[in-house]
Amino acid sequence: MYSSSMAREGEGRSGLRSRLEGPVLELWGKHDRDSDGWLPLWQHMEDSAAVAGMLWDRWLPWSVRRLIGRALPGGEGDGRLLAVWLAAVHDIGKATPAFACQVEGLADRMRAAGLEMRSRTAMGPDRAIAPHALAGQVLLGEWLEEACGWDPEECWPFTVVAGGHHGIPPEDSQIYALDSRGHLLRTPGRSRAVWQGVQTELLEACADEYGVRGRLGLWREVKLPQPVQVLLTALVIVADWIASNPDLFPYHPMEVPCFGAARADAAWQKLDLPGAWRPVDPDGTVQELFESRFALPAGSSVRPVQAEAVELARSMEAPGLMVIEAPMGEGKTEAALAVTEIFAARSGAGGVFFALPTMATGNAMFPRLLKWLKRLPSLEGRPHSVLLAHSKAALNDDFTDLMRGAGPVAGVDVDAVRNGKQALGHREAPAELVAHTWLRGRKKAMLSSFVAGTVDQLLFAGLKSKHLALRHLAVAGKVVVIDEAHAYDTYMSVYLDRVLSWLGAYGVPVVILSATLPAARRRELVEAYAGTVEEAGAAFDEVAAAGEYPLLTAVTPGGTPLVRRPAASGRAVSVQLEPLDDDLDVLADRLEAELADGGCALVVRNTVKRVVETARVLRQRFGDDVTVAHARFLDVDRAANDKELLRRFGPPGPAVDRPAGRHVVVASQVAEQSLDVDFDLLVTDLCPVDLLLQRMGRLHRHQRGTGQQDRPARLRRPRCLVTGADWSAPVPVPVQGSVAVYQKYPLLRSAAVLLPHLQTGGERPVRLPWDISPLVQGAYADDVQAPAGWQEALDDARRRHEAQRARQQQKAATFRLGDVAGPGEPLFGWVAAGTGDADDTPAGRAQVRDSQESLEVIVVHKRADGGLTTVPWLGQDRKGRRLGGLDLPRDQVPVAFAARAAAACGLRLPQEFSGEVMDRAITELEELVVDAWQTKESSWLAGELILPLDQDCQTRLAGFALRYSTTDGLEVTRA
């Protein structure tokens, strides 16, 4: 029965408890097995409602509140009422025998109050048919029908919020299965009326307590849009998670009883969740805006692309999608951030997500994002949550510095709150930008206000997966910036386009950056976001035919696209193209001649194997004046390589120590984007023309003296030698490695549009930026005339290419989220037949990229005596502490400092270790697992696969011989 102690605790209280009496007070909602503490269901419902109200008032971006409010007759006021009420009733499914029987002691209390139920064992497997989320959806729907006169179809868009609050909205078949098993919701016989009574009593009390009684009649006429259903579900999930934290909301018996507003206020103060950004529309001129946000060098002016982008953002009827296409080095990133600030202020967005193609580009963007944030007047004096979103963010020093500023969420000091003091663990002087503790979980992290990370995090919003609603809430309240849009293949584009359609439905402002896009792809992006643009088709065709460049395209959801053609900045480069035989001796001879008087050359290969083979030959001529850069280095070594490239080949300045003599960098695609490096001569494998133009952006990128006079005399005219193909054949034959990476058709189309520039002996250079768009549009257009004798080869390659694209599209569609359904369509089956959990792991990334799951290991050094250490060549951390050669004992957890140093030595094994070979490799690596490291105290190393290298940095794995060096990275050969 209802205990006397609980009765005394409730004396004099208002709130939900004051509306309840009798058996309903014995319903339990939370239980702690370790302490045997528990929480009454009504208390958890009250806690959840209170948190939802605080989230709405203090955390949810205005753009999200407005979107929800627009769907309801009472606007944002109705939106808040609905959110709080749904949070209160979301766990009504726990008021059922199927749930209550799980804890026998608490079930006995309920039986004593007249709520009869069979034991958990006796109820058997049928319990699985009535998970409490689904049960809650059914009970809430029955109450709306019986007590409020709603039709079932009118209930579903509202009740699905309860049904989906554990991450997966139910499917129709699950609902029908439960309909035929009423005993799971109410025990038959005398007790059935008691069960129905407590369920009704709770729902009636919530309707009155949270002020929706008078609104339900009006809401009955609302066809709640799917985007609103998603956001309400996500908000309830967040409220439920916070209210379920016993450190914030203690269970009974409590050491210090605290109820109602005091309980919620104490928890909120302890949580210390940073609020949403409240951006202010920047006034003043474009020049003033850029000078204040980006610290422009004295005397420099904003570039035309940047100025036009800001003016276009200011002139748009409402924030929407903007595609910025401009040459490399034109300041597209700064333009995007300026547009983002304007879009955010005008849309009410509460944050920014900057999506980049790789972890390396994410790491490079993160400090730039932080610098911009620290210059925003709207952030002064208030903490805001920041995230670096990829799987190895904890190894990034800029991010870990922010993490150190965020205190833990621990027990609530109620007395301190009552006395006006700060709760235990609350920062006395919080940093303006923090990596908030509560937002570090993989499902919650993207809810941070400001995020830089890999595009995978955005593509996951288009993947059917558990708790997808949280990912949608995370992007729905932000401005989304997508960088390097040309870098995403057909498979990834299938997900990107679907995500854009949902972003358009949410009204999320989006900025897309690219050096240039094929006209067809530009149109696909616009249509995905805004819907059909048939009325603007002529404008798109005109732009494509004219080859206008730079180019800005903007559109609002459902609107007509706007096109702007800003002038080029005046920075121009005319690059002479020349074919070069694909022979390493020919390459070495040519480089030796070109660099006779010194100079820096970049050789870009399409595969790591070609990088290593080329470097080996070139070292025979150039010795140590050859540097290798590719992705098959340890994480820590690759970061050091990028830093060294910038130090030696970055823009002119005191921080750059450019080689005085000759030097050759042999690199894979890692040198293609997001590195501000500058070379005197470029040699590149044939690749798709848009990527080849990106590589050209590393050639004479900066002015070095008047007329480039600071470069060697023979290298003052920019030249690009194109190799990686047999140019002597009637139709060029790309090397097999390049075909495997890019397919033959894009390579031949690239060769076809470059042919006039390759055959003229330098008399017809590629003029950057003016030739960028014509070359790209020509390579991707459907009706370009083939060079003489090429037609048959092109037709055959095209058939293969289109078949591969169709396979990619079909494969990607398997787990792709459906499009936005019509108003009033419930989210039933929204993520049915999905992937389960999706996160930033190799397996997760493989779901949104057309790649096989890769194998990641942590590389350590194995001494002659069998002991393990961190690899010996690691340098020092920022505090001057040695990182290399640190002991990693097998009989205990390594010290955190050494474990983190080891974790920084992650390495992704190449495709040789996929499929069946991966299984064999995992089996062999699992034999090396150190049991002492598989504990909670070993967060850096637990669950990781460890690859020990001997004193010669070699080992064998799954039939392959592995060799690692700091100069060439990982080499893999058949053993």
For residue 66, name the pLDDT band (cuts at 50, 70, 90): very high
**What three-state secondary structure class fits 752?**
helix
* 115-129, 180-194, 704-718, 774-788: the lowest-pLDDT one: 774-788
Q: Which of 132-136, 470-474, 773-777 has the lowest mean pLDDT?
A: 773-777
Distance, in Å, from the CA atom of 123 to the CA atom of 759, rounded to the nearest integer, reads 81
CA angle, residues 446, 449, 454, in degrees to nearest 5:
45
Mean pLDDT calculated for residue range 562-575 = 86
Rounded Cα distance between 266 and 334, Å, is 41
3-state secondary structure of 734: strand
- To the nearest whole percent, how much of the chain has pLDDT over 70? 88
Give the start-to-end residue ranges of the domains of the chain.
4-8+23-270, 286-391+444-564, 573-622+645-768, 852-974
**Backbone torsions φ then ψ of 220, nearest 5 degrees:** -60, -30
- Residue 407, pLDDT score: 41
Burial state string for 183-216 with b = 16 or more CB within 10 A and e = fewer than 16: bbbbbeeebeebbbbbbbbbbebbbebbebeebb
Mean pLDDT of 378-391: 76
Residue 620 has pLDDT above 50, yes or no: yes
Q: What is the pLDDT of residues 284-298, one digit of tens each?
A: 999 999 999 998 877
Tell me the Ramachandran region of residue 295: left when phi exceeds 0, alpha when psi lies from -120 to 50, beta otherwise.
left
Among 59-73, 682-696, 773-787, which is the least confidently predicted range? 773-787
Show Cβ contacts of residue 88 under 8 Å, excluding neighbours closer than 6 positions: 16, 45, 46, 48, 49, 52, 206, 209, 210
Q: Smallest Cα–Cα separation from 883: which of 857, 907, 860?
A: 860
* pLDDT for the residue 419: 31
Q: Residue 305 corresponds to which amino acid?
A: V
What is the pLDDT of the chain when averaged over all its residues? 87
Q: What are phi and psi of 134, to 5 degrees?
A: -65, -45
Q: Would you state the pLDDT for residue 781?
A: 85
Is 790 in a helix, a strand, or coil? coil
Is the model's pLDDT at 255 over the cut of 60?
A: no
Spatial neighbors of 690 by CB under 8 A, at least 6 apart, are 486, 515, 516, 517, 518, 776, 779
- Between CA 484 and CA 494 the distance in angstroms is 16
Give the length of the chain. 975
Which carries the bigger pLDDT value, residue 673 or residue 969?
969
What is the rounded average pLDDT of the residues 783-807? 89
CB-based contacts of 317-320 (< 8 A; 24+ apart in sequence): 317/556, 317/559, 318/346, 318/347, 318/507, 318/556, 319/343, 319/346, 319/347, 319/479, 319/507, 319/509, 319/556, 320/504, 320/509, 320/510, 320/529, 320/530, 320/554, 320/555, 320/556, 320/557, 320/559
671 vs 2, more confident: 671
Instruction: Please give the angle made by the CA atoms of 356, 274 and 463, to the nearest 5 degrees.
Output: 40
What single string gives the DSSP state of each residue in 284-314? S-HHHHHHHHH-PPTT----HHHHHHHHHHH
Closest to 310 measured CA to CA, from 284, 283, 342, 333 = 342
Binned at pLDDT 50, 70 and 90, residue 153 comes out as very high
| Low-confidence winner among 51-60, 108-117, 434-443, 863-872 (lowest mean pLDDT) | 434-443
Cα–Cα distances (Å) from 263 to 214, 584, 779, in that order, read: 28, 73, 64
Residue 511: closest CA among 532, 525, 523, 495 = 525
pLDDT higher than threshold 80 for residue 141: yes
| Residue with token string 């048939």 | 534
Top-confidence residue, 378 or 345: 345
Flag the least confident range among 114-118, 236-240, 442-446: 442-446
**Average pLDDT, integer, range 223-239:** 97
Average pLDDT over residues 684-702: 93
Spatial contact of 904 and 862, defined as CB atoms under 8 Å apart: no
Q: Is the CB of residue 476 less than 8 Å from the CB of residue 67?
A: yes
Residue 554: enclosing H or E segment and its boundaries?
strand 551-555
Amino acid letter for position 439? L
The least confident of 355-364, 500-509, 597-606 is 355-364
Max CA pair span of the chain: 99
Q: Which CATH class is domain 4-8+23-270?
A: mainly alpha
Whether the per-residue pLDDT at 6 is higher than 80: the answer is: no
Long-range contacts of 960-963 (CB under 8 A, 24+ apart): 960/912, 960/913
> Quick one: pLDDT band at residue 491, thresholds 50, 70, 90?
confident
Number of neighbouring beta carbons within 10 Å of residue 815: 18
pLDDT band of residue 7 (cuts 50, 70, 90) is very low
Can you list the pairs that 532-540 forms with residues at least 24 positions away whose Cβ atoms lie under 8 Å?
Answer: 533/560, 533/561, 535/560, 536/560, 536/561, 539/563
| Least confidently predicted of 147-151, 309-313, 355-359, 731-735 | 355-359
Tell me how far apart the alpha carbons of residues 433 and 381 are, in angstroms, rounded to a whole number. 10
The model's confidence at residue 681, banded by pLDDT at 50, 70 and 90, is very high
Does 643 score more than 60 pLDDT? yes
pLDDT above 90 covers a percentage of the chain that reads 64
d(CA 800, CA 787): 20
Q: Is CATH 3.30.2350.10 the classification given to domain 286-391+444-564? A: no
| d(C-alpha 135, C-alpha 119), whole Å | 18
Using CB atoms within 10 A of its CB, is residue 820 exposed (0-12), middle (13-18) or buried (19+)? middle
What average pLDDT score do residues 88-105 get? 96
Fold assignment, 573-622+645-768: Rossmann fold (3.40.50)
Higher pLDDT, 258 or 583: 583
Residue listed under structure tokens 């787990």 = 815
pLDDT: which is higher, 561 or 424: 561
Higher-pLDDT residue of 673 and 221 is 221
Buried b (16+ CB within 10 A) or exposed e, 70-99: ebbeeebebbbbbbbbbbbbbbbbbbbbbb
* pLDDT tens readout for residues 508-529: 999 999 988 888 899 999 999 9
How many other CB atoms are there within 10 angstroms of residue 284's CB atom? Answer: 9
Confidence category of residue 384, pLDDT binned at 50, 70, 90:
confident
What does the pLDDT look like over 159-215, one tens digit per residue? 999 999 999 999 999 999 998 888 999 999 989 999 999 999 999 999 999 999 999
pLDDT value at position 496? 92
Q: Taking Cα atoms as reference points, which of 390, 442, 465, 446 lies closest to residue 816?
A: 465
Average pLDDT over residues 633-657: 91
| Distance of alpha carbon 558 from alpha carbon 555, whole angstroms | 8
Distance CA 187, CA 519 (A): 64
Measuring CA to CA, which residue among 202, 264, 199 is closest to residue 19? 202
The per-type count for the chain, helices as H runs and strands as E runs, is 36, 27
For residue 683, the model assigns a pLDDT of 98
Cβ neighbours of residue 593 closer than 8 Å, sequence gap 6 or more: none
Predicted confidence at residue 413, as pLDDT, reads 28
Instruction: Please give the model's pTM, rounded to 2 decimal places.
Output: 0.88
pLDDT range class, residue 5, cuts 50, 70, 90: very low
**For position 416, what pLDDT does the model report?**
30
- Residue 30 above 90 pLDDT? yes
pLDDT of residue 572: 82
**How large is the average pLDDT for residues 324-345?**
93
DSSP letters along 6-37, please?
Answer: HHHHHTT--SGGGG--GGGGG-EEEE-TTT--
Q: Is 836 left (phi over 0), alpha (psi -120 to 50) or beta?
A: left
For residue 538, pLDDT over 80 is answered with no
pLDDT digits (tens, 9 = 90+) for 396-436: 677 676 665 544 333 332 223 223 323 323 333 223 566 66
Q: Judge contact between 736 and 607, C-beta under 8 A.
A: no
Q: Do 573-622+645-768 and 286-391+444-564 fall under one CATH topology? A: yes
As a whole number, mean pLDDT of residues 917-938 equals 90
Q: What is the rounded radius of gyration, in angstroms, for the C-alpha atoms of the chain?
A: 31
In tens, the pLDDT along 843-882 reads: 544 465 555 567 889 999 999 999 999 999 998 887 888 9
